[in-house]
Amino acid sequence: MGIKFLKHKWQKRLLIFSLIFLGIILIFSFLVNLYWSPILAGKVKSTVLTSSDSLYTIEFSDAKLHIIRGEIDIYNITLKPDTAVYNRRKKNHLAPNNLVELHVKRIVLSHIHPFKLYFQHKLDIGKVILKEPELNVSYQLNHTKDTTIKDRRTTWQKMSKSLKSIHIGEILLNDVKFKYEDYSGNKMVISELKEMNLSANDLLIDSTTQTDKSRLLYCKNILTELNNYSGKTADGLYVYRMKSMRLSTQTSKLNIEGLDLQPVKADVFFDKSMHDRFKIHLDSFQLNNFDFVSYHKYRILRASNMVLSHGSVDIFNNPNKKPSEIDKVKTFPNFGLEQLKADLTIDTIKARHINVSYTEFNKKSNKSGTITFNNTSAQFLNVTTNKPALQKNNIITAQISSYFMNTGKVDATFTFNLTDKNFPFSYKGSLGPMNLQSVNPAIIPLALIKFNQGTVTRMDFDINADSKISKGKVAILYKNLKVTVLKADTDNDRLKHMTIASLYANLLVIKRNNPDNEGELPRSFYVTYKRPKNDPFFKTIWHTLLDGIKPCAGLDEKMQQNVKATLNEYSQRKQEHKVKKALRIQRREERKRKRALKKENKALAN
C-alpha cells in the first residue's frame, strides 16, 4: 500500500515537503528554546526583584520551551529573601511581618504565549503546576499597621517598563510541605503541615487590577485545603486533630470539619497535672467574612460571625487539686478576654447542638458524679478586645438555651462588662418542668442525697455579680419533695441509707411543696453570696443559686445550723451508745472469764 502511494510523483513531493516542514518546525523550536530561555530567566528574575523592592530573588537551574506542547518546564526553583535587605529594612522599621521561602523541583507552565511575551511584553499563562513544593514562612511582628514607604508605586507600576501585564489562569500546589515559624511570642513556635493543597485562579497584574482590593495577591481566589492534620500540645497531655480545613479568600470563609482535642488517659493526666481535664469535639467550625489579610499581616482577627455546630465539651475535675490561695477570677470570661494577647473582633458567635458535661470525684462517697447540659445552643454578641470597639460598646451579651440533665429546659441571658476591673456580670433566666429523680446520677455521688420523688414546676433567677459578691433573687417552685440521706459504706464500696437522718429531713426540715398550698404566694429568696478567692466562675454561679434554692426548700441558714446541731447531737449520742455497748460487752466477757476461772479453781481443789 505504501509502495503504491510512492509511485505517484505528487505523493513523493508531498512526503518530502512534509518532512522538510517538520524539520523546520523542530529546528525552529530548538532555536526559539535556545534563544527564549535566557529571555524568560531574565524577565522572571527582574520582575521578582523589582516587584519586591529587591527583598526577594529567584533562581532556577534550567528552563525549556516546548512549542508543540505549548508548555514551559522550569527546574529547581528557589524563591528566597535577601537577609541583608530584610535586616536593613528591619532596622529602619520597614520590614514585613512575614518572610517566605519556596523550593520547587519543577514548575510546569502550560498554554503559554511566548510571542505575546516577546512582541507585546505580556506574560500570559493558562496553568502553572508546582511539583513537590516546600514552603517555609516565618512570622515576626515588626509593625502593627502598614508602614510608610517612600516608594508608593504599585507592583504594576514598578514592572510596567519591562512587562505590561501578567496573567495566569490557574496555579496549583499539591501535597505541599509547609513549615511555619512564629517568633511573636516568648519563644519560637514551629508548625509543620502535610497533605496541604493550595490553588489560585485568575492572577492578573495590570493597570486595571493594580488597586483592586477584592483580589488577594492579585488573585481572584486563593483556596487552601488541609487534610488529616494532628499534633500534640507542648506538655504532651493533649492530642489535637483536624479532619479537614478549607479557606477561600474570595468567599472570606474558613471551614473546619472534625475538630478534636483528646487528653491522655485519666490516670496519666492526673498524675502529671493539677489542672482540670478537657475533652472537646466539634463536627464543624465556620468563620464568615474572615479578614485573612489583616490576620496574615498583623494577627488581627476580624470576622462577622463564628459558627460551632454539633459537638461536645467534657470537663473532668482534677481529684488531686489542692486548695489554692490564688484568685480564680482568671476563670471569668471577661477577665480571660482582657488578658488575651490578640486584637479580636467577632460580631456574633453561635453554638448549635453542643453537649456539655462536668464530672467531679467526691472523696466522701468515693464516686464520680456528672452534671450535663444537653443540646445546648448559644449566641454571643460583641466579642472583642479591640480598644476603639470597646469604647463604643463594652458589653458582651450571651443568650443560652439548653436541657439540664437532658430533661429540664434552661433559658438564660448573660452580660459581661469588658472594661470594668471588678469584672461585673449578670445572669437571669429560668428552668422548666423536670422530674427531680433525673438529677440523681449527679447528686447521689456528689451530695450524698437521693431524690425519691419530686417535680420542679419552674425555677427563676436574676443575679448581678462581680469578682467579689453576687446579689439577686432565686425562686424555685416544686411539689411532693422527698429525699433519702446517704453515707458511704467503705467496707462494701457502696452508699447506704441513713434512716434516722432521712426521716428527720423529710418530717422536720424539708418543705414538701412550694408554695405550701395552692393559691398561696411561693417562697423566694434574696441572695448575697461573697465569693471566696479560690472559687472559679462556674462554681460561683452554682453556689449563688444554691444559696437561693436551699431556703426555698426550707433549709435557711438558721435551719441549716439546727440541722447540723441535731445531726451532731445524734452522731454524738450514737457514738456514746457504741461506747456503752462496747463497755457492756467488755464487762460481760470479764464476768464470763471470772466464772470460768472460779470453776477451774474449784475443779482443782476437788
pLDDT tens for 73-106 read: 888 888 888 888 888 888 887 888 888 888 888 8
Q: Between 413 and 533, where is the model more confident? A: 413
pLDDT class of 115 with cuts at 50, 70, 90:
confident
- For residue 428, pLDDT over 90 is answered with yes
Q: Is residue 428 domain-shared with residue 376, that is, in the same domain? A: yes
Q: Tell how strand 343-362 and strand 300-316 pair up.
A: parallel
| Beta-ladder partners of 313 | 280, 356
**pLDDT for position 321:** 77
Same domain assignment for residues 295 and 176:
no
- State residue 15's pLDDT score: 52
- The winner for highest mean pLDDT among 271-275, 287-291, 531-535, 593-597 is 287-291
Lowest mean pLDDT among 28-37, 209-218, 252-261, 409-418: 28-37
The stretch 141-156 carries a mean pLDDT of 68
Residue 25: band (very low, low, confident or very high) from pLDDT cuts 50, 70, 90: very low
**Which segments within 56-133 are labelled E, that is strand?**
56-59, 62-66, 71-81, 98-112, 122-131
The band of 9, judged by pLDDT with boundaries at 50, 70 and 90, is: low
Taking residues 194-206, what's their average pLDDT?
89
The pLDDT of residue 581 is 77
What pLDDT is attached to residue 31?
46
Cα-based torsion angle of the residue sequence 573, 574, 578, 580 in order, rounded to the nearest 10 degrees: 20
User: What's the whole-number mean pLDDT along residues 298-321?
Assistant: 90
Is 536 within the bounds of a domain?
yes
The answer to whether residue 11 sits within a structural domain is: no
Half-sphere exposure of 575 (CA within 13 A, CB side): 6
What are the beta bridge partners of residue 289?
A: none
Residues 358 and 398 grouped into a single domain: yes
Dump pLDDT digits (tens) for 461-507.
999 999 999 999 999 999 998 888 777 766 666 776 666 666 656 65
Amino acid at 525: F
In a domain, 468, yes or no: yes
- 19 in any annotated domain: no
Residue 21 pLDDT more than 50?
no
DSSP alpha helices (H): ranges in 94-184? 114-120, 155-159
Task: Name, in order, each residue with C-beta under 8 angstroms of 472's C-beta and a sequence gap of 6 or more.
Answer: 428, 461, 462, 463, 464, 465, 526, 527, 544, 548
Closest C-alpha among 100, 106, 120, 104 to residue 52: 100
What is the average pLDDT across 270-298?
90
Look at 20-34, 327-341, 517-531 and tell me which has the smallest mean pLDDT: 20-34
In order of 94, 122, 272, 376, 464, the CA distances from 393 in angstroms are: 34, 51, 42, 27, 19
pLDDT at residue 28 is higher than 50: no
Return the residue matching grid coordinates 476603639: 388
Residue-by-residue DSSP string for 378-403: EEEEEEE--HHHHHH--EEEEEEEEE
What is the mean pLDDT of the segment spanning 323-329?
81
Nearest-Å Rg of the Cα atoms of the chain is 38
Domain boundary among 211, 232, 253: 232
- 70, 215: one domain: yes
Task: Evaluate whether residue 6 is within a structural domain.
Answer: no
pLDDT at residue number 13: 52
Q: Let me know the angle formed at the C-alpha of 77 by 76 and 83, rounded to the nearest 5 degrees.
A: 125
Q: Is residue 389 part of a domain?
A: yes
pLDDT at 606 (0 to 100): 62
Residues 360 and 223 in one domain: no
- Shared domain for 177 and 305, answered yes or no, is no
> Number of structural domains, the chain?
2
C-alpha neighbours within 13 Å on the C-beta side of residue 414? 24
Question: 192, 211, 232: which is the final residue of a domain?
Answer: 232
- Identity (one letter) of the amino acid at 244? S
Tell me: do 204 and 252 sit in the same domain: no
Tell me, yes or no, whether 301 and 332 share the same domain: yes
Q: Which domain holds residue 384?
A: 245-570
pLDDT average, residue stretch 153-164? 81
Of the residues 187, 203, 232, the one at which a domain ends: 232
Residue 247 has pLDDT above 90, yes or no: yes
Q: Is the pLDDT of residue 44 over 90?
A: no
Please compute the mean of the pLDDT values over residues 110-123 and round it to a whole number: 80
pLDDT value, residue 201: 93
pLDDT at residue 306 tops 90: yes
Residue 190 confidence (pLDDT)? 76
- Nearest alpha carbon to residue 509 among 562, 453, 456: 562
Q: pLDDT digits over 365-421, tens only?
A: 888 889 999 999 999 999 999 999 999 999 999 999 999 999 999 999 999 999 999
pLDDT at residue 223 in the model? 93
| pLDDT band at residue 561 under the 50/70/90 scheme | low
Helix (H/G/I), strand (E/B), else coil: 7: helix
Alpha helices by DSSP H, listed for 251-339, are 266-272, 292-298, 333-339
Average pLDDT for 132-161: 76
Work out the average pLDDT over 130-140: 86
pLDDT at 566 over 70: no
Is pLDDT at 114 greater than 90 in this prediction?
Answer: no
269 and 131 housed in the same domain: no
3-state secondary structure of 296: helix
What pLDDT was estimated at residue 286? 96
Model confidence band, residue 145 (pLDDT cutoffs 50, 70, 90): low
Average pLDDT over residues 299-315: 93
- Asked if residue 132 and residue 90 are part of one domain, the reply reads yes
Assigned domain for 587 exists: no
Summary mean pLDDT of the chain? 83
Examine the domain organization and report whether 311 and 364 are in the same domain: yes
Output the CA angle 43-45-49, nearest 5 degrees.
115
Q: Which three cell numbers stand for residue 226?
A: 488541609
Q: Are residues 554 and 415 both part of a single domain?
A: yes
Assess whether pLDDT exceeds 80 at residue 349. Answer: yes
Q: Cell numbers of 464, please?
A: 448581678
> Which stretch of 30-34, 36-40, 160-164, 584-588 has the lowest confidence by average pLDDT?
30-34
Closest CA to 112 of 33, 49, 56, 189: 33
Would 598 be classed as within a structural domain? no
- How much of the chain, in percent, has pLDDT values that exceed 90? 33
Give the confidence band of 352 by pLDDT, cuts at 50, 70, 90: very high
DSSP state of 436: G
The per-residue pLDDT for 424 is 96
Condensed to tens digits (0 to 9), the pLDDT of residues 434-455 reads 999 999 998 888 888 888 999 9
- Could you tell me the pLDDT band of residue 180, with boundaries at 50, 70 and 90? confident
